[in-house]
Amino acid sequence: MKITPRVKEILSWYSSDSPGTLTNLARLLGTGKLGGTGKLVILPVDQGFEHGALRSFAPNPAGYDPDYHCQLAIDSGCNAYAAPLGSMEVGAAKFAGQVPLILKVNNSDTLAKVDQPCSALTSSVEDALRLGCVAIGYTIYPGSGARNRQYEDLRALTEEAKRKGLAVVVWSYPRGAGISKDGETAVDVAGYAAQIAAQLGAHVIKVKPPKDLVEQAEAKKVFEKYQIPTKTLADRVRHVVQSAFNGRRIVIFSGGEAKGTEEIMAEIKGLAEGGAFGSIMGRNAFQRPRAEALKLLNDVMKIYAP
């Protein structure tokens, strides 16, 4: 555990939290190859629930076994491994203490027709404690007609997690009737999503890399009036990080669908340049053969902390 001055500085932004929660945040920041740098790379594997095991693991069948992923997170030196209840239960005892665990407490599948996107609560703060996790993870869909229920469930979970010394990671993915498909990753929407998660009390905020696009007319006027640059990914990431309490909340970025290595590296460079605190990288890692995944994660970490 590397609790460097930078880690202490970041922890100082969470001064309303209990020593228990600060300890778990410190574990997140102090573990792995990036430990102590203030940067994070997290391996999340909830795609089995979200898209089915087949689509998630057929490209690299070793991944059908949840322990594969946890071992990959350890061996690659990730800051943490995130997964839903079932996957976590398989390996929690075996891997105890080897890598910080984030229990993804809500999940969604793609078998049902959905009007108002909303994940189901699938595990609890008590489960996270029982399994030795440092944090819970929760997805909100701002823009959904069901957002209020999500915010309110998250509120209750967050209150409980903080009382019991855990950290809270929020996946903030705008989606639903209020937002166009393209607009889900518009720069204004991404910034707004980061702000909402920050206001809801998240310690770590996960958003998607924003595109050079503005969704809301009111926002467009503001970007223009104040000549806020949005051309490069770094520009846009800067806006998103600023939107999360001027950079005083940890904001990390997901990679989305699997893609080529070069494309990934270019994106990570943009994220890092814009001030991202790191990446959460799932399919791009675990769908590759193990050796390639280890190399990729290593390369990504090098960009964040050269």
Kindly list the catalytic residues.
206
Of 39 and 238, the one with the shorter C-beta distance to a copy of itself is 238
Judged by CB under 8 A, does residue 61 bind a copy of itself? yes
In angstroms, what is the minimal distance from the CB of 301 to a copy of itself? 28
CB of 154 to a copy of itself, least distance (A): 9
Is 269 near a copy of itself (CB under 8 A)? no
Q: Which of 20, 145, 165, 275 binds a copy of itself (CB under 8 A)?
A: 145
**Residue 75 near residue 107, CB atoms below 8 Å:** no
| Region binding a copy of itself by CB under 8 A among candidate stretches 57-65, 70-78, 271-279, 298-306 | 57-65
Q: Which two tokens stand for residue 260?
A: 């080529």
Kindly identify the residues of this chain, within the stretch 3-42, that bind a copy of itself according to CB under 8 A: 13-17
Instruction: Determine which residue in the list 1, 8, 9, 177 makes contact with a copy of itself, applying CB under 8 A.
Output: 177
**Interaction between residue 179 and a copy of itself (CB under 8 A):** yes
CB of residue 217 vs a copy of itself: minimum separation in angstroms? 11
Other beta carbons within 10 angstroms of residue 225's beta carbon come to: 8
Within residues 99-118, the interface with a copy of itself by CB under 8 A covers 107, 109-113, 118
- For residue 299, give both structure tokens: 């390369």
Other C-beta atoms closer than 10 Å to the C-beta of 217 total 8
> Measuring CA to CA, which residue among 196, 204, 157, 156 is closest to residue 11?
204
Residue 165 as a binder of a copy of itself (CB under 8 A): the answer is no
Q: Counting contacts by CB under 8 A, is residue 126 touching a copy of itself?
A: yes
Q: Which of 2, 11, 20, 65 binds a copy of itself (CB under 8 A)?
A: 65
Residue from 58, 259, 266, 292 binding a copy of itself (CB under 8 A): 58
Closer residue to a copy of itself in complex, CB, 113/291: 113
**Considering only residues 1, 8, 120, 229, which one is a binding residue for a copy of itself as defined by CB under 8 A?**
120
**CB of residue 51 to a copy of itself, shortest distance in Å:** 7
Burial class (CB in 10 A: 0-12, 13-18, 19+), 198: buried
User: Judged by CB under 8 A, does residue 195 bind a copy of itself?
Assistant: yes
What gap in Å lies between CA 143 and CA 164, rounded to an integer? 30
How far is the C-alpha of 157 from the C-alpha of 136, rounded, in Å?
9
**Where would I find the beta strands (DSSP E) of the chain?**
40-44, 80-83, 101-104, 106-107, 120-121, 135-140, 167-172, 204-207, 250-254, 278-280
Q: CB–CB of 285/45 below 8 Å? A: no
DSSP label at residue 283: H
